[in-house]
Structure 1
């Protein structure tokens, strides 16, 4: 990740990170629904996550996303806004592919 406002913390800096956050459907990012709330997707805990099951850490473009309570709300806003805009593009351009909408 970089110190630039390039949203690498949301989309990742590497192709594999980007692929892990994409749904590959309608240009959207993956999400997780809990009690009616849309959140970043969860993943099984790894060495960077201190949460105990069943409360897994969230997945974003930056593995440090769950280290500070202020980061998860920011990532949630960015993901939801990305998906909102992707839905607008899909509605306006129904022939566009997932990749075209995502880019």
Structure 2
């Protein structure tokens, strides 16, 4: 079973709003801070000198899809962790392995 377009888009939207909506993931110079959400240098990798610009830019990949792509047009749906925290039944998500 696959995750639906609506699940992926809704989850990505929630993450983007949470992580970048309040500005605490950026320092006073406008650079990404070290951490998962806010300044948390203790969890950063030794080779990182500021937040991962590469990882942050991955959120923009869907912008390359056309406006009529199912990613954009399918109805929003709850994603797995949201279902879990709301006490709903949910299937286990598994990593993808190309055979």
**Higher strand fraction (1 or 2):** 1
**Structure 2 length normalisation: TM-score?**
0.32
Q: Please state which structure has a larger fraction of its residues in helix.
A: 2
